[in-house]
């Protein structure tokens, strides 16, 4: 969502690991100005070190999640 040009990302999942990963990614976008949120890329998330802790399938899911959120933010 967007309020006063500040991004808020809402999420939910039944799976605890997925919910935790989504929480971290959503928190990275939430609170940023729309302009700053549009500048975030997948490579910015590499600094968090999450990728190294995940299975190949979850790494793919993480990339897809970041892509999905980024695409939605671009349309705001």
8-60 pLDDT, tens digit per residue, is 999 988 999 889 999 999 999 999 999 999 999 999 999 999 999 999 999 99
In sign, the C-alpha dihedral spanning 30, 32, 38, 39 is: negative
- The pLDDT of residue 71 is 96
State the Cα–Cα distance between residues 53 and 76, nearest whole angstrom.
32
CA 69 vs CA 19, 63: distances in Å: 15, 10
Backbone φ and ψ for 60, nearest 5 degrees, come out as -60, -40
State the Cα–Cα distance between residues 74 and 38, nearest whole angstrom.
6
pTM to 2 decimal places: 0.88
Is 90 exceeded by the pLDDT of residue 5?
Answer: yes
Is 90 exceeded by the pLDDT of residue 2?
Answer: no
Contacts of 1 (CB under 8 A, 6+ apart): 7, 8, 9, 10
Lowest mean pLDDT among 2-6, 28-32, 63-67: 2-6
């Amino acid at each position: 969502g967007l309020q006063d040009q500040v991004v808020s990302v809402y999420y939910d999942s039944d799976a605890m690991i997925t919910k935790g990963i989504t929480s971290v990614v959503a928190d990275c976008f939430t609170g940023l100005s729309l302009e700053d949120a549009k500048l975030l890329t997948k490579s910015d998330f590499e600094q968090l070190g999450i990728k190294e802790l995940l299975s190949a399938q979850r790494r793919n899911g993480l990339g897809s999640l970041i892509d999905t959120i980024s695409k939605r933010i671009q349309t705001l």
